[in-house]
Structure 1
Amino acid sequence: MMTQLQSISHQTLASWQKLEQLAKKDWSLVQLFVDDANQGHKRIDKFCIQSQGIYFDYAKQCIDDEVHQALLNLAKDCQLKARIDSLLKGEKVNISENRSALHTALRLPKSASLSVDGQDVVQAVHESLNRAEQMVTRIREKLWRGYSGKAITDVINIGVGGSDLGPLMAATALDSFADTDVQVHFISNMDGKQLGSLLDKLNPETSLFIISSKSFGTVDTLSNAQTALTWLLKTGASRQSILRRHFIGISANLSKMSEWGIYPDNQLALWQWVGGRFSMWSAIGLAIAIRIGMSGFREMLAGANAMDKHFATTDFSQNLPVMLGLIGVWNSTFLNIHAHTVLPYDGRLRYLPSYLTQLEMESNGKSVTINGEQVDYSTSPILWGEIGSNAQHAFYQLLHQGTQQVSCDFIACVDGDNYYSNKATENHQEKSAELQHQHNLSLANCLAQSRVLAFGNQAVTEKSEVAIVSAHKSELDKFKRYRGNQPSTTILLDSLTPRSLGALIALYEHKVYVMASIWNINPFDQWGVEMGKKMADSVYSELVNNKTAINQSCRSFDASTDALLAHIKQITAIRK
């Protein structure tokens, strides 16, 4: 299947060329809404989808019926349905590494069946989940004890990239569902300061470390793991006892875990077909399950699986990931909008922008097609984001009055009252009322900002939209002019639960795949990460060796790097 798909030259497609022509129009969101008002306000019905507990409004995007149909035609011409089927069936869609990309298999129900290379993937996944559940139960029920016999009180997840960003994001978002006093912490920074600061606050007798690394060779993670081991060994307990009672390993490389010292019963397996940035549905999500319970974690898997089914079976015009992905392609490739920001108006989702930054830019930051040809069109935009209220006082100035066009995703939860739903408090009703007031303020800001971004100064009036558009002159001076015409999508969750979070993350995973399919690139490899790692090894060797070299550098690198190394060595030598 994938070999057949490789032969497509997407730029020669009539639908692609049609979109190139449509992109030349002078797009005005104000005018689109004025025209819609004259036609009976039908736009929101056309450009809104409700499914999976999500209200998806893309009416404030620079599209009309003609663009909408051309995007659907492009999806068909790019054989998107066949590509979706290939992904979900376990075909080797990761062309450059000759692998499947089966993160969707991680959330299949136990009753399902999927055979890849002669192995029942579903059976293996649920065996791993069952092993994880045994660990979760022991930790949460105070049966997992440290070297001194005391129960574990703190779990520290050591990972980087996908082994950190996903679990950190989900555990934070769902902390209101936590029903244990076991605390979960996340460490990723390799410089040691993040871990060192945390260790000062922890009790070694009651601390358990999860070492998460697909390869179990990532220097960032193993450096922190070694520091944690050294810290524990200072207690005087035996190395064997420390390793057996205070470390869990999660990796696709079982031999390296054993070599490092992870006790066999404390090992959880990954598979090569699980990409790091897609891995929190696997044992990598152990920290999430410890915090919210295995039943909550399974609910998250169920929400993602429901989105998988929606993605696989729903008509493209009503398909959440398909339309989100097609809009992304329209903005980046055809309208030349090369920046995209994610703006969650809910503090529980504060790590979502960082998670999506990796998901999208590591996946689709590619410039070569799946058949090895250089692309000459824009692929992934630069993505960033922040909680809406912080962002309003930080970079919204650029969104409203800067020279850059930026597309935006606004994300909010309709029901914000479940924050205390699982926490017993004496004054719950009073707190709930105050929180609801603040939640309504946040929702109001979310809707207001998307409106001003779309319509600029003409949004700030009590007049109707039809009357607004005729007012070409603003009463505000030129320094206070909001230009508007910044396209945005608004995604409203009915409420934030394990299930709805699972659906939301799966929505964005599939969005990435849709965009990659249209761009004809491979979203599952990440060769761009590797060279920097290798170069770091060479630079590190020079940094720690030849320590007396102060006034001359090694000439092994470029002049700039050599000079920087010399300066570091000089300052280090002086301070010694």
Structure 2
Amino acid sequence: MRPRADQTAAWTALRTLFDTTGKNFDLREAFAADPRRFESFSQDAPHVFADLSKNRLDAAAQTLLFDLARQCGLEQYRDAMFAGELINSTEQRAVMHFLLRNHAQSVGQQAQPAIKNIAKLQSEVDEAREAMLAYAEQVRADAAITDIVNIGIGGSDLGPQMAVLALAEFATTGKRFHFVSNVDGRELGDVLAQLRPQNTLFLIASKTFTTAETMTNAQSAKAWFEASGGRDIGRHFAALTSNVAAAKAFGISTIFGFWDWVGGRYSLWSAIGLPIALAVGSQGFRELLAGAHAMDEHFRTAPLERNLPARLGLLDIWYRNFHGFTSRSIAPYSSALRRLPAYLQQLEMESNGKRVDSQGRALPFETAPVLWGEPGTNGQHAYFQVLHQGTSVVPVEFVAIKESGPVFKSHNHKLLANALAQAQALMQGKTDVGGHKHFPGNRPSTFLLLERLTPASLGALLALQEHRVFVSGAIWGINSFDQWGVELGKVLAQDIEPRLQSGDLSGLDASTAGLLQRML
């Protein structure tokens, strides 16, 4: 059993270091004392340059964090994941989403040879991918299909939606993409009002094909299709699921499956990514996988001292458990990445929002921070006030793109200038004796820079974030790959829903009963 963070000598040493120098660390003094601080705390990784120099971190703290990682067995745990071991202990499953992108020959890279004991599975993954991409090309060539509606929720919605929006510059089909996730009928109704059944393809994305919100929307979409004169459900509906029998019972014949070791928040690389392949084509999808694969290899092979996912994950430990920062703001300075904060919210908070370790023992320290954010420059005119002058310190993660897309390229210098200025202002602050215009500064931030937003760079960025979450979860000793907290409310809803018809209030707490009665 791997040691948990608080059971290591490095954890104790970090606490001592924080109490002596860490809690009073000042970024302005650190830069004044070390002219090479930027070089020491920045690095290149595949498709991503990261500047960590504006963080409240010095060489001593970073060294102890690396010690912490080694004493917690991070490298061995990482290797166990890549070896296909059952590291999802509560569900007795492997965690192998990296296999989904372990195929890069088409874009000039050499795929990592499949690990021996999962070589057969790698072959199945490749076969499933090729079938999905062939179907994507078939639909892309079908001029009669003008609208594609993805019906899913959670990982079956957030990943594909985020990526389709992010890669809109590379979409060449002229087709319109719609995403329906909320069980609120207005969302589905607003989408259907724009469509004609003979020109629409519905993708029903649900691993189990039982997700309540998804199946409610799917049944309503099917009813609308038939009532509006639609014919041939087999042509106009496809399922992205592991439950082939349920999809067939629904009337769907085109089914693309995936495996129980693909968690929802890691599923855009699988058949769940069909909307992405439909948008950018099979080659674009392969490039997305290749970018992620390059980051996988970086995480798998780079020493901790130059391993960007490890450095970010360890920084998250430093901030959450020693500085006591309760949240992190994600600020992508790219309209195309406007859904990235929502995607990262699920990735991190569903993975690491745990109160017990992998052995079921209550944790004596905090785990996942709250993630939140909006694209810059919009956020500057909304919540940046609290970042600059609020009473709580919130680390910010800027994501910027060096080269803009083809539209209004002259805007990009203004966008980049704002990103740089906000990071600078958070760090430097400004003195005002009157108080109202005083900026305390010393507010930390990380700056991630992509040369250009492409399928490959997006893939690398997302894989970076996946592995970063893996790192912090490993240090905390939790299982980052289950999500039992999602289930309780869903189970209770099954009891409450019929009560809205019957009016039965028996056995309910007073608040739930009172609210339900007002809804009758």
Q: Could you state the TM-score of these two structures normalised by the residue count of structure 1?
A: 0.87
Aligned to 2:246: 256
**CA deviation profile, 1:538-561 (whole Å, cap 9, x unmatched):** 111111224xxxxxx613211011
Letter in 1 for 2:468: K
**CA deviation profile, 1:270-321 (whole Å, cap 9, x unmatched):** 1100000000000100001101101000000000000000001111111110
1:237 deviation in Å?
A: 4.8
Letter in 2 for 1:406: V
Aligned to 2:338: 350
**CA deviation profile, 1:138-182 (whole Å, cap 9, x unmatched):** 111117xxxxxxx11111010000000000000000000011112
Structure 1 residues 119 and 314, CA gap change in structure 2 (3 angstroms): closer
The aligned length equals: 514
1:407 deviation in Å?
A: 1.1
Letter in 2 for 1:541: P
| Partner Cα distance (1:31, 1:332) in 2 | 18
1:235 deviation in Å?
A: 3.0
- Structure 2 counterparts to residues 405-554 of structure 1, below 5 A: 405-416=393-404, 419-420=405-406, 435-457=408-430, 474-475=431-432, 477-546=434-503, 554=505
Matched, 1:371 2:366: no
Aligned to 1:567: 518
| Partner Cα distance (2:424, 2:21) in 1 | 20
Maintained 8 Å contact 2:27/2:442: no
Aligned to 2:317: 329
SS of 2:410's equivalent? helix
Aligned to 2:236: 246
- Structure 2 counterparts to residues 174-323 of structure 1, below 5 A: 174-237=167-230, 241=232, 243-263=233-253, 266-323=254-311
Percentage of identical aligned residues: 40
RMSD of aligned Cα (Å): 1.7
SS of 2:451's equivalent? strand
Letter in 2 for 1:276: G
Aligned to 1:398: 386
Matched, 1:67 2:55: no
Q: Could you state the TM-score of these two structures normalised by the residue count of structure 2?
A: 0.96
SS of 2:178's equivalent? strand
SS of 1:97's equivalent? coil
Matched, 1:11 2:11: no
Letter in 1 for 2:239: G
| Partner Cα distance (1:436, 1:268) in 2 | 39
Structure 1 residues 26 and 251, CA gap change in structure 2 (3 angstroms): same
Query: Is the deviation greater in 46-55 or in 152-161?
Result: 46-55
Letter in 1 for 2:441: G
**CA deviation profile, 1:235-266 (whole Å, cap 9, x unmatched):** 3455xx2x211100011111221222211xx0
1:484 deviation in Å?
A: 1.7
Aligned to 2:108: none
SS of 2:262's equivalent? coil
Aligned to 1:388: 376
Maintained 8 Å contact 1:113/1:120: no
2:43 to 31, 49, 52: 49
1:476 deviation in Å?
A: 5.0
1:436 deviation in Å?
A: 2.8
Structure 1 residues 235 and 91, CA gap change in structure 2 (3 angstroms): same
Aligned to 1:466: none
Letter in 1 for 2:87: V
SS of 2:204's equivalent? strand
**CA deviation profile, 1:422-449 (whole Å, cap 9, x unmatched):** xxxxxxxxxx5xx232111111111111
**CA deviation profile, 1:305-356 (whole Å, cap 9, x unmatched):** 0000000111111111000101011101111001111000111100000000
1:37 deviation in Å?
A: 2.6
Structure 2 unaligned runs (5+)?
Answer: 105-110
Letter in 2 for 1:104: F
| Partner Cα distance (2:493, 2:70) in 1 | 44
Maintained 8 Å contact 1:364/1:523: yes
| Partner Cα distance (1:14, 1:481) in 2 | 40
**CA deviation profile, 1:31-52 (whole Å, cap 9, x unmatched):** 443344344x121111101121
Maintained 8 Å contact 1:163/1:213: yes
